[in-house]
Chains A and B, each alone.
Chain A
């Protein structure tokens, strides 16, 4: 266990932070979470409806965290996330329905999901190329056009069911798998963001030219960010297809992208914790408000508008809870605060 410097008076809070900073703590939390999910799906002490909601929460967390890498950390405005999701969903479903032998579906399921992710990542690579030259609103159009192209192409291929959609998937998405993939995506993206590469991503958001001059390889950073983000969108798509057991191209249109965007900005940009909070709140609120019928779809955007007016950066915008921050950053922040306390003018 590593120690915080200046931790002479170890209060309860600091001990808590030392605990959460250790690898063992996270391992235990992950195993406990996985065990809980397995128990919940085997012994069904959560009923199927609750399990389904938890599955959707997990899928939405994957989508939100991965979109936040591009829209939050890199500061671009991508509206094509549903397109990547569609690619992942179709690749994974085609594998489980047509390619894999019927007996071994459960064993090969992670491979199908992985293949969906890789398929989406390849497409993400293609979308990253226009992002070298185009920025801002024009890049938004590129991603939007991409999302619509994916949808229309899928509608025109008869082998995948065309506009009717694809069915025949078994219900392979279970709570433990969703937990596993969610934890993996949060872990990967959190580590990416706080790595050297992540600094590059943040510098592109702040000033692309300056970061280019500071020898950040902006093209490489953009490609990796798009590939990683679309990879996890594809994984979420595969999980979504096998939770619902039916997909059609219209599920992945611009409205789905809007949903993900709302979750990202509700939670707040450039924040892992914000993405999780946004996805959880949005998914659960939609379920809780279900008795209102159509009016819940009137209420939700109204709440979003009010939130944006009174808290334009979302719930956790640009902030992070300490649980997700590495020790290095915590120390830097602490030293910075101390310095500011000693000489308030100098730091400003």
Chain B
């Protein structure tokens, strides 16, 4: 019983990181119907920013987190302006390939600058409380609470503010919204900034939880977060959160009861089964087929 609690805590920790990254995928998809495959690598850049700031500027945790988020958000806006904006009216696949290219560029550029894995210094004192055989660390609590807070803020922005209303409107109908006086470019930039900023925050937290970072760490985590976004129903923000926790839970449970090498097999097989049963994700709505 205690073992199950222990593992659910780990699942919550991994799931909240997945969910934060999945949010970036789903927000960009909702507004541009484009899969930003560079998102996993922006997550990696977030972890590297965290490393740079912590090592060279010697800042404490909160400024490090904020600066990394800002840096990644800025990078996201620049990428959108330079690489994706010229392709807004191009065939969808070219945008996807461009995103793959941007992702490869980020990976290899980081690799060229830092060929060896880096070790993020401990920014916070990690206290572990043990109750019987159940142990919980302050870092775990921090990651879970911080992600939940970030998700609540995001949900508030999207549901309650004017900018969020514009975002939802654009994902509803792209042609009418500009006629209502909404600056589409600004809203898209804002979406990218928020989405990639959350990815950057996830990078920082991942770096704190698993301190060895390398330029290719974003690939696998990124694809898995993408799967979370799809499981929840891509384009649906609450779906992405649910998807993140589901995949995190499944992965940890498989690793707990089976040899850990089976983790990916079981996780992806479950995904396939889910997609065959519900091809549009958990919270996604089936698209009406127009003839």
- SS class, residues of chain A in contact with chain B: helix
From 287 to 318 in chain A, residues with beta carbon under 8 angstroms from any chain B beta carbon are 294-295, 297-298, 300-302, 304-305, 308-309, 312-313
From 89 to 146 in chain B, residues with beta carbon under 8 angstroms from any chain A beta carbon are 90-91, 93-98, 100-105, 108-109, 111-112, 115
A114 within 8 A of B: no
A130 contacts which chain B residues (CB < 8 A)? 272, 275-276
| A210 vs B280: C-alpha distance when bound (angstroms) | 22
Please name the residue on chain B nearest to A269 by beta carbon.
B93
Please name the residue on chain B nearest to A294 by beta carbon.
B112
- Report yes or no: A305 in contact with B83, Cβ–Cβ below 8 A: yes
- Report yes or no: A138 in contact with B111, Cβ–Cβ below 8 A: no
A258 contacts which chain B residues (CB < 8 A)? 100, 104
B70 within 8 A of A: no
| A261 vs B94: C-alpha distance when bound (angstroms) | 11
Q: Mark A103-141, 1 if CB is under 8 A from B, else 0.
A: 000000000000000000000000000100110011011
B253 within 8 A of A: no
B150 within 8 A of A: no
From 245 to 280 in chain A, residues with beta carbon under 8 angstroms from any chain B beta carbon are 254-255, 258, 261-262, 265, 269
Please name the residue on chain B nearest to A297 by beta carbon.
B108
- Report yes or no: B280 in contact with A309, Cβ–Cβ below 8 A: no
- Report yes or no: B272 in contact with A142, Cβ–Cβ below 8 A: yes
Looking at the complex, which of B54-62, B154-162, B165-173, B262-270 is the stretch in contact with chain A?
A: B262-270
- Name the interface size band of chain B: 35 or more
B263 contacts which chain A residues (CB < 8 A)? 152
| A265 vs B98: C-alpha distance when bound (angstroms) | 10
- Report yes or no: B275 in contact with A138, Cβ–Cβ below 8 A: yes
B211 contacts which chain A residues (CB < 8 A)? none
- Report yes or no: A149 in contact with B265, Cβ–Cβ below 8 A: yes
- Report yes or no: B275 in contact with A134, Cβ–Cβ below 8 A: yes
Q: How far is the CB of B71 from chain A (nearest CB, A)?
A: 20
- Report yes or no: B265 in contact with A301, Cβ–Cβ below 8 A: no
| A298 vs B280: C-alpha distance when bound (angstroms) | 36
- SS class, residues of chain B in contact with chain A: helix
B101 is contacted by which of A134, A144, A305 (Cβ under 8 Å)?
Answer: A305
B87 within 8 A of A: yes
| A261 vs B275: C-alpha distance when bound (angstroms) | 23
Q: How far is the CB of A147 from chain B (nearest CB, A)?
A: 9
A152 is contacted by which of B94, B103, B268, B291 (Cβ under 8 Å)?
Answer: B268
- Report yes or no: B264 in contact with A152, Cβ–Cβ below 8 A: yes
Please name the residue on chain B nearest to A311 by beta carbon.
B94
A137 contacts which chain B residues (CB < 8 A)? 29, 35, 230, 234
| A300 vs B104: C-alpha distance when bound (angstroms) | 9
- Report yes or no: A148 in contact with B268, Cβ–Cβ below 8 A: yes
B271 contacts which chain A residues (CB < 8 A)? 141, 145
| A298 vs B114: C-alpha distance when bound (angstroms) | 13
The residue among A138, A151, A156, A269 with the most chain B CB atoms within 10 A of its own CB is A138
Given A258-B100, A301-B108, A149-B264 contact (CB < 8 Å): yes
Q: How far is the CB of A33 from chain B (nearest CB, A)?
A: 31
B227 within 8 A of A: yes
Q: Mark B251-291, 1 if CB is under 8 A from A, else 0.
A: 00000000101111100110110011001110000000101
Q: How far is the CB of A87 from chain B (nearest CB, A)?
A: 15
B86 within 8 A of A: yes
B74 within 8 A of A: no
B219 within 8 A of A: yes
Please name the residue on chain A nearest to B270 by beta carbon.
A145
Question: Beyond A152-B261, A294-B111: 12 further Cβ-contacts under 8 Å?
Answer: A138-B280, A141-B227, A141-B275, A149-B265, A149-B272, A152-B262, A262-B101, A294-B108, A297-B108, A301-B102, A305-B105, A312-B90
Chain A interface (Cβ < 8 Å from any Cβ of B): 71, 77, 130, 133-134, 137-138, 140-142, 144-146, 148-149, 151-153, 155-156, 209-210, 254-255, 258, 261-262, 265, 269, 294-295, 297-298, 300-302, 304-305, 308-309, 312-313
- The 26 listed contacts between A and B (C-beta, < 8 Å) are A134-B275, A137-B230, A138-B275, A141-B227, A141-B230, A141-B271, A142-B272, A145-B275, A148-B223, A148-B264, A148-B268, A149-B265, A152-B265, A152-B268, A258-B104, A269-B93, A294-B111, A297-B111, A298-B105, A301-B105, A301-B108, A302-B101, A304-B104, A305-B102, A308-B95, A308-B101
